[in-house]
Structure 1
Amino acid sequence: MAEIQNHQEVFDFYLQLTDVIWEIDKTSIEDILTQIKLGFDKYNLKMNYLINIINTIASHRLWCLEKFVSLFKRIQEIYEISNDLNFSCFELKNILIKCNIITQELSYDYEKKTTDEMYQIFPKNTIAHALFWDDIQEFQHFSGADDFNFNQSVNFEFLIDMAAKYGAVKCFKLIYLNNAKLSIHTLEKSFIGNKFEIINICEQSFSPNRHCIENCVKWYRNDSLQYLKSKYDLDFSFLVSLTSYNFLIFDQMLNEVNDIEYLDCTGRTAFSSAVEFGFLPIVEYLLDKNPQINKIYGKENPPLIISLFKYDEKLTKTLLDKNADPNITNSSGMSALMYAANTCNIDAIELLLKYNADVNKTDNENRSALVYAIKANFKEVVEVLIKYGADATISDKSGKTPLEYAKNIDPKSSITKIITKYLESKNSD
């Protein structure tokens, strides 16, 4: 693999990769494959990264499902896709199974469907199908009935909201002209469908809110996003742009604020958001901008603790190597070691201890990591902490000892026996 020049270059690659996949309806499969090959050859692209990106985008581009299947078929031919990878896009996963591109269990609802039926998303000759594809003739087949209710809901969604979400202009107009009730939800969903005629009608009755702009971020409606920002001064979070793989908008926002410590509308920085997202290439890119790695804003967790939410050893180790304080705590006094103990993350515990985390540090209630492990009933964690010098004599603010915590759960448990044996050994010394 060629040497990577810098993290900016890696980030630019992921920005371009996500952009071409988002624009799959306008991009050739071969162009996307060229970008993917570049990633594997030069930028250490991981298959699970690629699958996660495609899954997320495909779930927001279901009308391009057939093209996503073609893309996956080519990826499988060239690189082979492991069958144990997680496919979050339900529709994509099942059609890949149906087409024998991956080997997993087919969902019951899809067993009797043909691939053509699956590509339709909804069954033909249904209202949902008519709205999804904006088939006005199919819709009029239903709406022409004398007792048809234009304010009814289908699949727990009002017809006018569904039409707005799917950008079904022809069907939307017919529903609207038949006195269907608009709501703020209709406006919010109109930014998913991204049809200006629908947005304009809804905008005459309601003012756009944060849900509108976040829908633009999630569905890669970046033109409408710029419109909302300029006209209504609406904002969105760094995290929503990252979890949506809208790296283009994440980058634009970062450049506009030109401050790595800028707090978004949720009170988070770009760096803490990237750590929570758990995508190492972006964390490394932002570390080059020298964020205050140990700074805590408000009641937020410090980045080191956040890195344990979706634990990636390389990410947590990267933070520690960049001088993240292994003993930093959140507002309640919880340290990363306590969080790892509370979630039975032995790998993280051993990593933190290797970087000199204090095994006997206590929170605001004077509870140590050992108490967290006992309360969570994690025997293996208790054993590891004792091995690394955890003190089982430390009482909390109420005077309760680790042994009392253990006995309260089960006086005869293995944890109680471990703590009792520890105390007996300590007393004999």
Structure 2
Amino acid sequence: MAVPSIPAPLKIRDYRAFWVARFFATVAGMMMVVVIGWQVYDIARESMSRDDAAFLLGMIGLAQFLPLFCLALVVGVIADRVDRRYIARAAVALEICCAGVLGWLALAGDMPMLALFVVAALLGVGRAFQGPSMAALAPNLVPRELLPQAIALNSISWQTGAVLGPPLGAFLYAVSPATPYVVAAILFALTFICLMLIRPVPRPAPSILTPWRSLVDGIAYVRHNKVLLGAISLDLFAVLLGGATAMLPVYARDVLFVGVEGLGPLRAAPSAGAVVMAVLLASRPLKRHVGVVMFGSVALFGLATIVFGLSTSYPLSLAALAVLGAADAISVFVRGSLIQLHTPDDMRGRVSSVSGLFISASNELGELESGLAARYIGAVPGVVIGGVGAIIVTVLWAWRFPQLRKADRFDQQKPA
């Protein structure tokens, strides 16, 4: 029986350190997300109706998005001028502090709602710096011909962490409210150590442009490149409308009646499906018709969202979320590969920051949209209508961006 060979990117020392850092950071971050969401909803339900408490879940999303909105594009300019390793390390240091503060408050037995919102906003600041810097760092660690495989491995690292983080956070929360925050702080510290192991990477020549001009050029580059603009904006609007995961505490407590113990598997199910798909993509990369595959995966994402929204069966809900995650993994893989292969290295920080802003808008503003929908039409109708909206967006974008729809092979893509 043949022994599976180690993927080529993981044979590179610095990329291994990056891959492990990404894994630890994801586990810790997902633990924080699931526990903060549960605590906000649980505290709110003591004095509010289900739909009003769900609205606060949306406001948590807004609290995380506002720092990202204010900082993401500026961070992209910084990531093209400052050593990307330093930026990522500083962001992780802030996340260590966030986890430590909530752990300390939980140990003291006093967790005010305001503290959860403030820490959520600070985590948004950390993500604003960490996302573009790490996204721009990864292509510097592997040869260009290994980049699509490295992107698939990045997805495996992130999705595996996202599978383990939510149930681990829920389990540790059942032990004590402080435990998941303490463990998250330790994992963020391990992330910091791994980032310290990455050696200096090649840097593009210093820009002669002012920071403002660099920022404007980064936005203009994405706006004029129809493949990049289509790929990034498709994710923004499809996920913004189909943001079912924001309502998982509502479903766990008041629709499926499985409590915090059932919330962990629900939160992990999309990532479990994504891990399976990422492994398949790493071992059998897409070769043809990548644009059509991307649009098909986004439509499947919307359909799975509808099934989840209507389900009152826990197993069916888990299955729908797993399919949703697998479909999203295909979209993320194609979009990430096209973005990196269409972008010259001296603009990767700025383009990654634009992409990160769109992704964050889709996630956090999607949570706000879900919260508003829950308040005015109910949580379940809001999720279902969001899934329908994601399918409509897919059809519109396939018509509006024919260059993206007709994208065939990754090896045909060259930076402009």
Instruction: Give the TM bin, normalised by the shorter chain.
Output: under 0.3
Larger-Rg structure: 1
Q: Which structure has more helix as a fraction of its residues?
A: 2
Give TM-score scaled by structure 1 length.
0.23
Q: Relative contact order, CA 8 A, sep 6+: which one is greater? A: 2
